[in-house]
Structure 1
Amino acid sequence: MKFTVLSTTAKHNTEFLQLPDRIILSNQSSNFLISSKMKLDEFLSGLDKDEIIIADCESKQGVSLYNEALDTSFTVLDYKPNDLTMEAADLAILNYFKRDLRGKSIAIYGTGNIASKLALRLSERSAKVYMFGRNPKKISVCVEALKQITFEPDLICYGDSDSRVDCLVSFVSSEKVIGKSYLEILNDNALCLDGGIGNFSKGFIKRALESNHEVRRLDVRQSQEIMDGYINSRLNSEFDNIIGTDTINGEIVVAGGIMGRDGEIIIDRISKPTRVIGVANGIGGVKNDSELSDEEKEKIKNVQEAIEQSFKKSVGR
């Protein structure tokens, strides 16, 4: 398979840029940043028709690469680069702290999409999260919103000069916003992770390294296995063989969580089923044996026999 990855950005600095190749399902794949419909149309017009396009589904600068690509003859899969970036940051932090964040304190500089999602994830891992940023109002909105949706609201905190943290992560689009003053909030041997790539000032980096902190730029390749699993599930989804509605031996059958109408037969999977689960009651449940009419019992028998006969044929018996 041949893949082409298309991403976009909220920054207004470029309309088209070839990025380093990605490895998708063990295939070296071209990777481009496109931020205008005109450039997208030009690019797609010269692309081989057998390419599978993996397109950023978030609309930025008035362009949705995914929606535009859907109107072409290409096979198109959607993905969210921001989510993969968040996953990579989560994995990087877990790696540094040997997969145990209990009792750890983490400062996140930023109040946008990635920073907010990462804050929620880390609080769910029992880390105490301090939120920092350039806009106090945005910080307040972010903190209070996260407190409403996490099971541990006390783990989401306002960051200030008195905070003491084991890790500092930045996710903003501006450069050199993390200056030397942020060294004051770091505990010994802290992890400093530049998620925005360019967020740390040279002075901060120099002093952090001199103080034996670990300084990293976020490498999104850390989430490659997550992306591979997602793409593979989209191309070869086993669940497509489980969910659905069909007719077996004249009876309507449902599977994969589809709520059947009263009297419809529920089976374990829609493709190559192995057994009958029961009879739908029409309100999201399965009828008890005591509720079954003689007609419904006969339906179960007929469908189960058809399933068994189909299975015997498939194995050549």
Structure 2
Amino acid sequence: MMPADNHTFFAPVTYILAGIPGMEESHVWISIPFCLMYIVTLFGNSLLLFIILTEQSLHQPMYLFVSMLAAVDLLLSITAVPKMLAVFWFGAGEISFAACLTQMFFIHVSFIAESAILLAMAFDRYVAICDPLRYTIILTKSVTGKMGLAVVTRSFCFIFPVIFLVKQLKFCGTNLLPHTYCEYDDIARLACDDITVNFWYGTVVATLVIGLDAVLIAVSYGLILRAVFQLPSKDARLKALRTCGSHLCVILMFYTPVFLPIFAHRFGQIVPGYILILLANLYVLIPPMLNPIIYGVTRKEILKWVIYVFHRWCRRSSLLS
């Protein structure tokens, strides 16, 4: 669909994803590490899911939360990255309005869900360290399942109104999106309507959902650290801290880059636009790629089964050859 006249409202049939404006000549080079990260993400998270879901000994709350995280990372990557690579490789930026809304919906659902899962994992570590005798009573499989259902429900409830807010907008001027995937703020800024409601809804969701999750996680770890340093034995303290190490790494990877793009979009250009878009691309690639590596290496129970799976695969390959 060609850009419409500035004075003519239109219902967009398609959008054009521009990639990373200002870095068009580097698109092919950028796509190489992006593609490698995507392959590692698919393989790592699929392997993690397979191991946790098929091995009965790993059907414990902590590992079930890890499997939820892997599922969300797969959803985020599969939703965003293939179109991103198509834009970089083939200039295939055209995307239908319905497909754009669908992509936007699942990307934002993934972000909200991941934040909630990290909060649930922080609660799991809090109970395990601060109230270990009641751990199996508090975090039963039923409770873990209900927490997973709450994660999905909350994510859909907060993001579903976004679809209606976008569909109510009137567009004019252009259908060119300066991004590699459909993002709520970029779509809203193309509208000729007043987007105050869209602006504040996005801000409230970012602050009350992502921000509140981050605060609650910080409080949980404050209580955890207080309990750890009250332990009489140095070995006990180190063991308790090691159980939280992998989770803290994942939390820092998720929350450190998330707030700059959110608030830069809303309160002015703190950094150049192409840097924000590049960060947004890395944000949907790096955490989903590193999460299974962190848990696979730092959790000896998972690492044991990863080694076992690879050993079986190598043995089968040698027999077939």
Q: Same fold (TM over 0.5)?
A: no
Greater helix proportion: 2
Shorter chain as normaliser: what TM range?
Answer: under 0.3
Q: TM-score, normalised by structure 1?
A: 0.22
**Larger RCO of the pair (alpha carbons < 8 Å, separation 6+):** 2
Greater strand proportion: 1
Q: Which has the larger radius of gyration?
A: 1
